[in-house]
Chains A and B, each alone.
Chain A
Amino acid sequence: MRALAWHGRHDVRMDTVPDPEIINPRDCIIKVTATAICGSDLHLYDGFIPTMQSGDILGHEFMGEVVETGAKSTLKKGQKVVVPFTIACGSCYHCGKHQYSACDNGLPADNQDIAQTLYGQPMSGLFGYSHMTGGYAGGQAEYVRVPFSDFGPIVIPEGIDDEKVLFLSDILPTGWQAAEYAEIEPGDTVAVWGCGPVGLFAVQSAFLMGAERVIAIDHFPHRLELAKKFGAETINFEDSSVYDALMEMTGGIGPDAVIDSVGLEAHGFFVDNVIDQIKKSTFLGTDRIHSIRQAIYACRKGGRVSMPAVYGGFVDKFPLGAFMEKGLTLKTGQTHVQHYLPGLLAAILEEKVDTTFLISHRLGLEDAPKGYKMFHDNQNEVTKVVLKPGQTI
């Protein structure tokens, strides 16, 4: 089959590789009908994520048609499914608590050592996202082997357009969980850093959860426009001081909840960012955390900090004092995708949530390397690239 493989920093290619096969009884094989490039794929593209190997197949946002099933799979050939990016077994203690991204069994035993050393305990497996998360082949390919297919994937009713449901795989539940973690109360003002897909879905979700005002922060005008369409007020951090603006806009209180959906590659020319970047490039390695610093500083006393943004390592100058003195609460983590799927699929089918507005570019799978470059080079216009195997677009 054809698949998008990582070969190094800014080097992804379409390779011909063997078709995947059923290995374990709970597996299924799907023929991918749609897959997307995620903002976090750019972290891989930019070489920020360790334990990548040349030839790794990328992609963790994908859906497709079931073409083969293992003896214990409950899926049927021909069914259309969306696959969660987190690989969870459904039967361990953490799955029992719906903490699916903390599943004990999604990660192969040999791959658990790295995460255990780095984080204390290993997390669940992820598709197409380095060997620390399992080394599973991803979905930017014609076919994918899906473990625990009797538990994770959600079956999509016939006749629903792929583009309406594809983002159930990651970014929609991630934006929703981010808003849920902000513990929004009626009348609240919520500030969202980063108007990428997760940030934009967090804006939508925050309103659905009863936020009175949502303030969206970015420097890409087009992305701020999209946030405005959902009713958000906007701050362009290149034109305005974010802290000053937030304090004025909230009558000197600060936002009740803040959401960081930027993560370890925060943009912007700020002193702390430049220092973080120099350290990263000289292997004194820390994540670039400008957005979460600013969010903590701006958040009102006793407020909530929700952090869907991806961080991988250690940080410098984390404002622990402000965090403690103001009595903030932080909730974060990889998304427990499986927990949100039934509710969010229903919300899509009832047209309470729209996700298609996000798609700016549609390409055939063969054009995936071009898609990465476009997404990387023009994040203002390119909000989401969807790849469709077997189609020339």
Chain B
Amino acid sequence: MADTQSKTAGDDAPLTASKHSSAAVDAATDGLVEARGDALVGRAVTINRPRAELYAYFRDFANLPNFMDNIERVDVQDATRSHWVVKAPAGRTVEWDSTITDEVEGEYFVWASEPGADIANSGRIEFRDAGARGTVVTATLLYDPPGGVVGKLIAKLFQREPAIQARRDLRRFKQLMETGEVATAASTRAQFEEDHK
């Protein structure tokens, strides 16, 4: 299994920082089993908690709406299959079925959407020990932007673009795991609900 953190040539920077996007997608695909799109997103965050605890929380997909702001719900169907309902721009939702295609408990899991997905996507979440600093969690995500480039632009305007979401979701995961809650500046519950529509 190729590691999305390493490169085949050149330097030691992660693939997701590559300036050569198609080569990066090709290389990442080796580690993702199946490609489901051509936009590559990668984010790493260091979380001051043990690896096993982080893995267990993240791998229980029913927990994901607790820190992923644009996920409405995930219905877990069995050990590998789940159904995702995700918020899209302009109050719409998109849905897909997803299957875990590879997994080593406590280390990483890889998923791919089933045919017929509103947004085809695949990805890998990896958990590595970081000594006294806890655990490095790396998300690598391949997706097919809805409506191609125009769809990506529209999503960006509404801030539901996967690249932006992935970064913010990982920050929220870190906050939840380290502090037991997700930081918000809302002063009232009404304002909090408004912010999370």
Contacts and interface: CB of A to CB of B under 8 A. Distances in A.
Interface in A1-37: 17-21, 23-26
Interface in A101-147: 104-113, 125, 134-137, 145, 147
A135 B185 contact: yes
Contact of B134 (A93, A106, A135): A93
Contacts of B168: 109-110, 112-113
Nearest to A133: B185
Interface stretch (B76-84, B108-116, B188-196): B188-196
Q: Which of B133, B134, B188 has the most CB of A within 10 A?
A: B188
Contacts of B187: 17-18, 20-21, 23, 137, 145
Nearest to B133: A93
A109 B171 contact: yes
Interface in A56-88: 72
Interface residues of A, number: 34
B118 to A, nearest CB: 24
Contact of A106 (B169, B183, B190): B183
B192 A23 contact: yes
A107 B172 CA distance: 10
A109 B172 contact: yes
A298 interface: no
B77 to A, nearest CB: 29
Contacts of A107: 183
A52 interface: no
B48 A147 contact: no
Interface stretch (B96-104, B120-128, B174-182): B174-182
A23 to B, nearest CB: 5
Contacts of A380: none
A26 B182 contact: no
Contacts of A51: none
Given A23-B184, A110-B168, A137-B185, A105 B134 contact: no
B117 interface: no
A148 interface: yes
Contacts, number: 85
A135 B46 CA distance: 25
A93 B46 contact: yes
B186 interface: yes
B149 interface: no
A23 B134 contact: no
A96 interface: yes
A100 to B, nearest CB: 13
B178 A125 contact: no
A109 B175 contact: yes
A92 interface: yes
B62 interface: no
A24 B188 CA distance: 11
A25 B181 contact: yes
A18 B187 CA distance: 8
A91 interface: yes
B164 interface: yes
A26 B192 CA distance: 16
A260 to B, nearest CB: 30
A165 interface: no
A25 B180 contact: yes
Contact of A96 (B48, B169, B174, B180): B48
A109 B181 contact: no
A341 interface: no
Given A18-B187, A109-B182, A137-B187, A104 B174 contact: yes
A135 B186 CA distance: 8
Interface string B143-174: 00000000000000001000010011101101
A200 interface: no
Contacts of A110: 159, 168
B179 A108 contact: no
Contact of A108 (B174, B180, B184, B189): B184
Nearest to A24: B181
Given A26-B179, A109-B69, 12 more contacts: A17-B187, A19-B188, A21-B189, A25-B180, A104-B175, A105-B178, A108-B185, A109-B168, A109-B175, A111-B185, A113-B164, A125-B185
26 contacts: A20-B188, A21-B187, A21-B188, A21-B189, A23-B189, A24-B182, A24-B183, A24-B184, A25-B181, A72-B180, A89-B178, A93-B46, A93-B48, A93-B134, A96-B48, A105-B174, A105-B183, A107-B183, A109-B172, A109-B175, A112-B168, A113-B167, A125-B183, A125-B185, A134-B185, A147-B183
Interface of B: 46, 48, 69, 133-134, 159, 164, 167-169, 171-172, 174-175, 178-192
